[in-house]
Structure 1
Amino acid sequence: MLGPRAEAGVWRLDAGVVKAVAGVAARPVLLVPGEHVLTMSVALPLPSHARRLAALPFAIEDRIADRPDVPHLALGAQQAGGGWLAGAVDRDLMATWVAHVAEAGIADAAIMPDALALPVPEAGRWNVRREADGRILVRTPDGAGFAAREALFVALWTAAGKPACDEVEEGGEALPIALDLRQGDYARPRQGLSRTGRRVAIVAVAGLVAHGAIAAADTVALRSVAAKRGAELAQLLATAAPGRYAGADPREAALVAAELLPAGGNAPPGTLLPLLSRTSSALAPFGGAVTIRSMQFDEAGRSLRLDVELADPAARGNIVNALRSAGLTGRFDGASLVVGGAA
């Protein structure tokens, strides 16, 4: 069974002390001083999350003072302009933050720079917030952000061409987690699942694939599949892990459910999530030519079975070739497309 989880609230690290603050988030999150995290938007035109992570150190090596293998690197959400939000932070400091959340009883909380709590502004503008301690939080149009005292803020603002600034107050909407620094060596701890939790993981598979397919195909049928999976997943998460997720985004709910998978279980996230991501990316170029009606994950065979309809049956060969180019295996079994993780 799952142990106790932190409620989906917001905490702030203030002078080494974790304090609860007003606000809600889809899952628990600790806001840390943005002065200590270099955030940036990075162009990573690669088809899978694993490949983007592998390329990240090389993409940012000219933006950091250290070698790219020295700081802890984290990859966040893709921004409207196409770039990916990334962060770099000192490893010792990251370890200290992880220890703080554990001591505060919120060991599963995400960790995010506080400047990213501000919304992304319009092009050519900055969103800013002056904190009670005199710090100024800034969010820039590329999705990145920083924090600085007034003198440094003025210098940076001047160097940027004095963009128009909009002062942002703390709102009542759920805080999106644009960049969770809890990755790699500092990832949130995994816990075992009950039978209900195993069901959550199965639904998570369907939710992720369906959501990815919708982005490519945008069909009524696929929207129906995703809506059903998303609603079922949210309900099961509430039962299996109360307080773990309070949002309504099927993709984020599926990722949270996947984090609950035991490291030694039958469907390790290291196999499951990359397979889902790579499959979705490989099928994206086919758009509305491929309709996914249902999907199953074979835990023993580490493969996906997708019940598909093709606008052009002759496209089967191209689909298999696209999967192979993405490092996957693919074959058609009747009306089903079977995708494996090793080409």
Structure 2
Amino acid sequence: MLSRAKVPLKHKSSDPQSQRCQEPKTSLPVSARSALSSPILKLDKYSQTSFFYIRGFKLSPRRKRGGKEFVCVCVCLCVGMETGIVVVEKVCGKSTVTRCFSKYPLKFIVPNKGDSISCKLTVGDGCTAALTTQASTKVYKAVGSKCSEQFLEVRIGSNALLAVIPDPVTCFATARYSQKQVFRVASDSSLVIVDWITSGRFASGEKWDFGLYKSTNQIFLEDDQPLFLDSVLLEAGSITSIAERMQDYQVIAMIIFLGPKLKPIQDEIQDDVKRMMSDSFRVPSSTSQNYMKVNSGLAPEKPPFIASCSAFGPKDVGSPQNFTNPSKILVTRLAAPGRGDFYLYPNLK
């Protein structure tokens, strides 16, 4: 927001070295008047043009009206060099943020209970884009049954590629969070989606202590034909807790690969998963239906890292080969004991 002020300039002498400018008496904000308290006046004796400076920034040349000299000054309401200001005061007995200002590259966020975010993204034909985050999405404690929500709607053009690769969602204790992502693609679009969540503030002792987590991903072709519909729901129950159901795994993830530009990666991932899991699982025999390795007759060992993948989607008529249709999808699901272990997955380095 800008405030324009006309500031009269009074010259005491024709000597530029002795020029002084009195403090303007205007209706400028206090912060602006402070900045103008000791301005520098520069007079070009040849062109008789005055320039007004505030902290080194030239604003505009002088103008004459009615025999008086004026300088048209554009003063920002925050004329200081601060990139952020936060003021916390008591309001009705509670600490409340009463002022919050920030400018690029800084961004202050005052979280509210039950925030709701809705975004739209369009990737044009033949374009390539990546959507990511600077840090994990933190979901704060819920108040009552209020749920924080996030909605993302994306349209991807022909022969375009989009990679949605955010940091994981981290839900604090008692938090409630729901997100929905809807993607509309062309028959030759390519798409990568990484959707993952951690158990919470693990270092603080919070492990799957949130109240609700729901993530929905939907992919449609241009004619609104559903190509992929998936929902993950983790909700604290009265019989078993989320932590009991998740065992000792602290990170779960789903990665979706769609489109012709990702076919080489799809093939590699299928081979990687088969190789990695072959050491932890075995094909059941006729004498045993146990899929997990057994250690010296004790209880089956739980693998430290679990990965699975499945390919599906419409097939070409008369072709049994996978991924011959551009709309084929490879879905990989992972579970790991920690966030760092997640990056051990070969194609995520």
- Settle same-fold status: TM greater than 0.5: no
Structure with higher Rg: it is 2
- Normalising by structure 2, report the TM-score: 0.24
Higher strand share: 2
Structure number with the higher helix fraction is 1
Q: Which has the higher contact order (CA 8 A, sep 6+)?
A: 1
Q: What TM-score, normalized to structure 1?
A: 0.24
